[in-house]
Amino acid sequence: MAQTKTILRALAGETLPTPPIWMMRQAGRYLPEYRATRAEAGDFLSLCYNSDLAAEVTLQPIRRYGFDAAILFADILLLPQALGADLWFVTGEGPRLSTTTTPEGLRALKPADAIHEHLAPVYETVRILSRELPSETTLIGFAGAPWTVATYMIAGQGTPDQGPAHALKAADRATFQGIIDLLTESTILYLSEQIKAGAEVVKIFDSWAGSLEGQDFIDFAVKPAARITKALKDIHPDVPVIAFPRGAGERYAGLHAAIGADCIALDDGVTPEWAAAHVQTGGCVQGNLASSHMVTGGETLVQETRRVVDAFSKGPHIFNLGHGITPDANPENVQLMIDTIRNGK
């Protein structure tokens, strides 16, 4: 099937007449069927670790919309939990973790190769999906990038400016680097195991890359992603890697080569026209319609969807949003976007 799956063709560098489509967070709270399944699971973490239900919510947007890819339903913070951090979710506020900010705290974490028992339900979800997805649908595995995951581990929660992680980076570089190194090694093992279970593509989400400046962007966004990508390519040479250093701005230019990724995912902080001229020249790009259009819809959604498709039409492109779809999105707007791309409506 590898030769006929449109996502894999785009990732291999082929320019297609109609770009393949999927959406970040396409299995999520905007769908009533997702909310029903989450209620059945009891809470978010229980849903992540229930392989049958996690597979079900992964399949829901495929059944509804016929996306060209499904992305594994999980969370980037399952990995630090597998390393020994405490993880819980506060309703209406998001994730909380026990913090890792000292040499002693770093030493208390498990080694990278100890993650697999804890993450076994995630691998089982991948195996279920590899059996149950339609034959034309590509299965994407994923992990958070080391910098982004580290920001949560250091602060104990999400922060508006990743200030605690920047402060530790400045005050105790050795401990900070140790956290990054542990996350890099464990991410390689985690993604490799997802591939062994059936993932056909993997994506590295660096949601907070944009807050890194100067050499720090190279050292803590680019280099870890490159290290992960190279290690995966050494083990699984035929499996494509998508990198998403969100907020990179003009630094997106040249990242295909710097990271070694088959595709660079773009947020909506850059225009598709600029990205076609400066990023798509390096290989496949993914993106980059603003998520807000899934809420507002209408003719503006149609026009902006066409704009993205037209801008990237001369090279390999996977249509996606510039960030995850939001819980207040209207499912009908998703269908309008898909119809605009596939039918030219």
How does residue 247 score in pLDDT terms, banded at 50, 70 and 90?
very high
Q: Which two tokens stand for residue 156?
A: 């104990």
> Which of 34, 152, 190, 252 is labelled catalytic?
152
- Known catalytic residue: 25? yes
Tally of CB atoms within 10 A around 104 = 9
> Which of 9, 65, 75, 246 is labelled catalytic?
75
Q: How far apart are CA 345 and CA 301, in angstroms?
A: 11
What pLDDT does 4 receive?
Answer: 84
C-alpha distances in Å from residue 252, one per residue of 101, 125, 248, 271, 324:
30, 32, 6, 12, 19
Report which of 71, 73, 74, 72 is spatially closest to residue 20, judged by C-alpha positions.
71
Q: How far apart are CA 212 and CA 57, in angstroms?
A: 33
pLDDT digits (tens, 9 = 90+) for 196-236: 999 999 999 999 999 999 999 999 999 999 999 999 999 99
pLDDT digits (tens, 9 = 90+) for 39-85: 999 999 999 999 999 999 999 999 999 999 999 999 999 999 999 99
Q: How far apart are CA 148 and CA 291, in angstroms?
A: 21
Domain spanning 6-343, CATH architecture = Alpha-Beta Barrel (3.20)
- Quick check: 6 pLDDT over 50? yes
Q: How far apart are CA 49 and CA 52, in angstroms?
A: 9
- Per the listing, tokens 């490159």 go with 226
What pLDDT does 345 receive?
Answer: 54
- Per the listing, tokens 């037209």 go with 310
Asked if residues 209 and 147 have their Cβ atoms less than 8 Å apart, the reply is yes
Asked if residues 195 and 238 have their Cβ atoms less than 8 Å apart, the reply is no
Q: How far apart are CA 107 and CA 79, in angstroms?
A: 16
CA angle 202, 213, 80 (to 5 degrees): 45
How does residue 321 score in pLDDT terms, banded at 50, 70 and 90?
very high
Report which of 149, 38, 142 is spatially closest to residue 97, judged by C-alpha positions.
149
The percent of residues above 90 in pLDDT, for the chain, comes to 97
What is the mean pLDDT of the segment spanning 88-100?
A: 93
What pLDDT does 1 receive?
Answer: 44
Q: How far apart are CA 204 and CA 226, in angstroms?
A: 10
| The CA-based dihedral angle spanning residues 325, 329, 334, 336, taken in that order and rounded to the nearest 10 degrees | -140
Asked if residues 327 and 289 have their Cβ atoms less than 8 Å apart, the reply is no
Asked if residues 12 and 56 have their Cβ atoms less than 8 Å apart, the reply is no
- Known catalytic residue: 38? yes
C-alpha distances in Å from residue 149, one per residue of 85, 186, 223:
12, 12, 15
pLDDT digits (tens, 9 = 90+) for 17-42: 999 999 999 999 999 999 999 999 99
Burial class (CB in 10 A: 0-12, 13-18, 19+), 22: buried
How does residue 91 score in pLDDT terms, banded at 50, 70 and 90?
confident
pLDDT digits (tens, 9 = 90+) for 7-20: 999 999 999 999 99
pLDDT digits (tens, 9 = 90+) for 118-176: 999 999 999 999 999 999 999 999 999 999 999 999 999 999 999 999 999 999 999 99
Asked if residues 204 and 244 have their Cβ atoms less than 8 Å apart, the reply is yes
pLDDT digits (tens, 9 = 90+) for 164-202: 999 999 999 999 999 999 999 999 999 999 999 999 999
Q: How far apart are CA 46 and CA 30, in angstroms?
A: 19
pLDDT digits (tens, 9 = 90+) for 279-320: 999 999 999 999 999 999 999 999 999 999 999 999 999 999
- Known catalytic residue: 173? no
> Which of 25, 227, 246, 251 is labelled catalytic?
25
Asked if residues 289 and 320 have their Cβ atoms less than 8 Å apart, the reply is yes
- Known catalytic residue: 29? yes
Q: How far apart are CA 66 and CA 57, in angstroms?
A: 14
What pLDDT does 3 receive?
Answer: 64
Q: How, if at all, do strands 241-245 and 138-144 pair? A: unpaired
- Separation of first and last alpha carbons in the chain: 29
Tell me the domain boundaries of the chain.
6-343
